[in-house]
């Protein structure tokens, strides 16, 4: 594999995947294709932007003509597709945008792959990065999602991701595209946009603002260190057979309220506050509509077949995450002020 287009590389997980591939594989050319929506921030890639094997291309996967042209000029050998609208709450207020990017955008990429790779499916690869939310919700304390769990999405976000997964499988089965899919649990770590639970809570605790906990905080998520996800993508990209699906998860289930209490303890210590001070900010608010009760991933297939396991204990990962946010105040203030967006839009408008 020589030239890889990574879509959504300016986002949270995408930037970790780009960084990993640029640094680990100097012999590869990495093209980061990103629209730079509110969630895309090239500050996330400052440490690799000058690398000889890295390039950024600003573009929209919903624009079929642009995607076709990009494949024609670049002739990539692989796509690792992460670009998406990714926030469940936004999907509830604006579902159509999720259909456009997550469904149509994926189909546009598949069409370009079908057209430009038809004579070399055996030498190309389409890697689709998906989510555990396609499987729906589990009851408390019983069962885990396996690769055989039937799809049962509930939110517009998870419905759009499920749809994109179906298209990727259909293009593999119908046209013979070499496609692989992974479905991962909740990620956490550096460069996570502060609309999601963990970075939002860190930001609010630091600024003495209420921490909004939906419902009673009873919902359970399975948290995985983002760099472990990037490593899993690397392993699957290089080793999986065409047509395979792998679940990726942390074996690390937390009720939201327990996670927030742990975060409050860590923040009290790091900020030199009295024990219990930050927890006073916990504020129970109206529940998310259609809120999935519990997610838990069985990642045994990935462990048994490809040898991947999570590397980091959650408490250690959470400490590292808090440290990153506290020592990268410039990143957080750029993001919360929205300044990064105006800056990069202006840079690209000039070209």
**Residues of span 264-303 touching ligand NAD by CB under 6 A:** none
Report the residue closest to ligand NAD, judged by CB. Answer: 11
Q: With binding defined as CB under 6 A, does residue 105 bind ligand NAD?
A: yes
Tell me the residue length of the chain.
Answer: 351
- Partner whose binding site includes residue 48, from ligand DAU, ligand NAD, none (CB under 5 to 8 Å by kind): none
Residue number, 32 or 278, with CB nearest to ligand NAD: 32
Q: Which region, judged by CB under 6 A, interacts with ligand NAD, from 88-96, 181-189, 250-258, 316-324?
A: 181-189
Q: Which two tokens stand for residue 185?
A: 């649990």
- Coil, helix or strand for 245? strand
Residues 321 and 329: their CA atoms lie apart, in Å, by: 13
Cβ atoms of 250 and 225 closer than 8 Å: yes
Residues 303 and 286: their CA atoms lie apart, in Å, by: 39
Q: Which of 329, 266, 232 is nearest to 16 (CA)?
A: 232
**Least Å distance between CB 273 and ligand NAD?**
28
Residues 331 and 325: their CA atoms lie apart, in Å, by: 8
**Residues of span 208-237 touching ligand DAU by CB under 6 A:** 212-214, 219, 221
Number of residues binding to ligand NAD, judged by CB under 6 A:
30
* 15, 121, 151, 185, 241 from 179: Cα distances, Å: 22, 9, 19, 20, 9
- Partner whose binding site includes residue 11, from ligand DAU, ligand NAD, none (CB under 5 to 8 Å by kind): ligand NAD
Residue number, 51 or 92, with CB nearest to ligand DAU: 92
Q: With binding defined as CB under 6 A, does residue 247 bind ligand DAU?
A: no
Q: Is 119 a catalytic site residue?
A: no
Q: With binding defined as CB under 6 A, does residue 132 bind ligand DAU?
A: yes
Number of residues binding to ligand DAU, judged by CB under 6 A:
19
- Partner whose binding site includes residue 193, from ligand DAU, ligand NAD, none (CB under 5 to 8 Å by kind): ligand NAD
**Residues of span 48-107 touching ligand DAU by CB under 6 A:** 86-88
3-state helix, strand, coil in the chain (%, to 5): 50, 15, 35
* 113, 153, 248, 261 from 243: Cα distances, Å: 15, 22, 16, 41
Q: Angle at CA 106, nearest 5°, toward 102 and 109?
A: 150
**Residues of span 22-51 touching ligand NAD by CB under 6 A:** 34-37, 39-40
Report the residue closest to ligand DAU, judged by CB. Answer: 131
Q: Is 227 a catalytic site residue?
A: no
| Interface ranges with ligand DAU (CB under 6 A) | 86-88, 131-133, 185-186, 196-197, 200, 212-214, 219, 221, 256, 288, 295
């Amino acid at each position: 594999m020589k030239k890889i287009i990574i879509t959504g590389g300016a986002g949270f997980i995408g930037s970790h995947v780009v960084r990993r591939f640029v640094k680990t594989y100097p012999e590869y050319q990495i093209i980061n294709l990103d629209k730079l929506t509110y969630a895309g921030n090239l500050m996330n890639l400052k440490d690799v932007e000058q690398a000889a094997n890295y390039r950024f291309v600003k573009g929209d996967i919903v624009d079929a003509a642009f995607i076709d042209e990009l494949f024609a000029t670049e002739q990539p050998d692989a796509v690792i597709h992460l670009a998406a609208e990714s926030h469940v709450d936004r999907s509830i207020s604006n579902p159509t945008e999720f259909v456009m990017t997550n469904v149509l955008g994926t189909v546009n990429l598949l069409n370009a792959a079908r057209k430009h790779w038809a004579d070399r499916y055996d030498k190309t690869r389409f890697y689709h990065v998906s989510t555990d939310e396609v499987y729906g919700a589990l009851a408390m304390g019983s069962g885990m999602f396996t690769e055989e769990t039937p799809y049962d999405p509930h939110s517009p976000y998870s419905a759009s991701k499920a749809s994109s997964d179906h298209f990727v499988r259909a293009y593999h089965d119908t046209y013979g595209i070499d496609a692989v899919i992974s479905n991962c649990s909740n990620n956490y770590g550096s460069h996570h946009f502060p609309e999601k639970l963990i970075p939002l809570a860190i930001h609010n605790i630091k600024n003495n603002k209420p921490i909004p906990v939906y419902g009673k905080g009873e919902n359970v998520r399975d948290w995985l260190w983002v760099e472990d996800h990037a490593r899993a993508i690397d392993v699957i990209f290089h080793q999986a057979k065409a047509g395979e699906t792998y679940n990726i998860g942390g074996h690390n289930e937390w009720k939201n309220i327990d996670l927030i209490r742990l975060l409050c303890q860590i923040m009290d210590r790091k900020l030199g506050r009295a024990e219990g001070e930050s927890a006073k900010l916990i504020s129970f608010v109206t529940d998310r509509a259609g809120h999935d009760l519990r997610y838990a991933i069985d990642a045994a297939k990935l462990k048994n077949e490809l040898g991947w396991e999570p590397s980091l204990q959650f408490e250690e990962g959470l400490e590292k995450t808090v440290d990153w946010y506290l020592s990268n105040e410039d990143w957080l203030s750029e993001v919360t002020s929205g300044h990064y967006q105006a800056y990069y839009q202006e840079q690209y408008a000039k070209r």
